[in-house]
Chain A
Amino acid sequence: MLKQVRGMTGDEAVAYAVKLVNPDVLAAYPITPQTIIVERYSDFVNNGEVDTSFIPVESEHSAMSACVGASMTGARVFTATASAGLALMYEILYVASGMRCPIVLAVANRAFSAPINIHGECTDQLVCRDASWVSLFGESAQEAYDETIMSFKIGEHPDVQLPTMFGIEGFIVTHALERVETMSKTDVEEFLPAERDVKYKFSPDEVMTFGSLVLQDYYMEIKRQQEEAMQNAYKVTKEVMAEFTELTGRKMEIVEKYQLEDAEHAFISYGATAGNAKAVVNKLREKGEKVGALKIRLHRPFPIDDIYDALKGIKSATILDRSATYGSPGTIVQGDIATALYGKKDVPTLHGFINGLGGRVLTLPQIIEAYEKAKVYHEEGKTLTQEWIGYRS
């Protein structure tokens, strides 16, 4: 494939990737730091560069509702939001997954109010983890670009048919100008089927009832189908990422392992924080520390086996989690990791560090401090700890 390089912010990367996909419908409501995605896309629509029906709605609740309606006709649908917008969509997230609409949602991860804050934090997306949406995180503008295109293929797979959301951290990724290797229209056409493969849809030719009342007698069966689709999504994501790697030459995996082969200690992170972790690994390796980093790209379905394979034999793991949870035994992602590893052999002790809330900069010395603490906790025989770093006491 012909490789071209452009300078793009994370938001622009998403907009340009969606342009190549050219979905049938886009319904969205502006919210910082997502706004640029839809703003750029509206340029494409009004310049006639794409033939998407663009629906400017009055709220995020309406945006997701419009997306569900459009998706039920068999259309390919995209939307984007952040923070409070995602929280307002929450009710309809369950409708989208329950009615099996493979909508693609770009989340510009942003802190929740109050106090009001527009900067990066992943809590908004993580609290949607039980909504039966496939959930991905991107570290850079490049990953935002790639995950946009892959999300359509993962969600629309006949064995999955679930909506997909992918997150990029507000401002840290969405507004930072980065180098992005772009794809061509023909690459995307080759990668993505021209139309969705849908069995049941709103159609005057075949009348069906959608969104019907389902009580005790069938509800659990319908929900269980979603769980089975989620399990399929794990396999499909793996296949799609392998196919994408072959097409573009950019390595895409469910989890990214960095210098973990001979490591004794590890960092676990997701999204933009993974970049910091890798930089710290380089620094610590210079000092002779045997340390590596694991980046979780796919959060739902949670890649249990991949995480176990990556962490087997590691002594202690420092989990850097840019999300808030209160009164919890661990950070949000730490909870998933602990559940995935519990009872297995040769697994690390897990030390979670809540950091970077509301866009607070996570400095490399802070990460090293967290790492040293985790090592001490490990020596003391603590298996699971959670604390906050990077705040003034």
Chain B
Amino acid sequence: MVEKEAPKELKKWVSEKWGTKNLPIGGTVPFHTAYEYKTGDWSAFKAIIDKSKCISCMNCFYYCPDAAIEMDEDMKAMVDVNYCKGCGICAKHCPADAIELKRLTR
């Protein structure tokens, strides 16, 4: 899984602590800023995908509310743990029962 990053331009705003003079008006920001927020940190559950069972239907890909599922080179689903909140919607919609939710212990 490729590590995702917000555009460098945005990081500059943050590091230089931009104020009213430089910030674009109306709260407009470049796209992909959400990559900065590793919302996967909040999760209590983790989705584990059994690739041998995956039938490449992409149901989980479309249903994931956080776009945390990607398809690999073999068109098998994989989870980006940085953004998976462990909601379980993918497991519910998987027709092949290939997704299992495991409680995380920290």
Identify the A interface with B (CB < 8 A). Answer: 98-100, 161, 199-200, 207-212, 214, 218, 221-222, 224-225, 228-229
Contact = CB atoms under 8 A, between A and B. Distances in A.
Q: Which 9 A-B pairs have the closest CB atoms?
A: A100-B26, A200-B28, A99-B26, A209-B29, A207-B31, A222-B27, A224-B20, A100-B25, A225-B20
Nearest to A211: B27
Contacts of B25: 100, 161, 199-200, 222, 225, 229
Contacts of A224: 20
Contacts of A207: 31
B26 A98 contact: yes
B29 A222 contact: no
A225 B23 contact: yes
A208 B29 contact: yes
Given A209-B33, A221-B20, A224-B20, A98 B28 contact: no
A228 B27 CA distance: 15
Contacts of B30: 208-209
A210 B30 CA distance: 9
A199 B25 CA distance: 9
B96 to A, nearest CB: 35
Contacts of A209: 28-31, 33
Contacts of B23: 218, 221-222, 225
Interface of B: 18-20, 23-31, 33
A100 B30 CA distance: 17
Contacts of A98: 26-27
Contacts of B28: 200, 208-210, 212
Given A210-B28, A222-B27, A225-B23, 16 more contacts: A98-B27, A99-B26, A100-B26, A161-B25, A200-B24, A207-B31, A208-B31, A209-B28, A209-B29, A209-B33, A212-B29, A221-B18, A221-B19, A222-B25, A228-B20, A229-B25
Give chain A's interface secondary structure class: loop
A229 B23 CA distance: 14
A99 B27 contact: yes
A223 to B, nearest CB: 9
A105 B100 CA distance: 54
18 contacts: A98-B26, A99-B26, A100-B26, A199-B25, A200-B25, A207-B31, A208-B30, A208-B31, A209-B28, A209-B31, A218-B27, A222-B23, A222-B25, A222-B26, A225-B20, A225-B25, A225-B26, A228-B20
B32 to A, nearest CB: 8
Nearest to B14: A217
A155 to B, nearest CB: 13
A208 B25 CA distance: 13
B33 A212 contact: yes
A161 B28 CA distance: 14
Of A199, A210, A221, the most chain B CB neighbours within 10 A belong to A221
Contact of B24 (A199, A211, A228): A199
A161 B29 CA distance: 17
- Which of B18, B28, B31 is packed against the most chain A CB atoms within 10 Å? B28
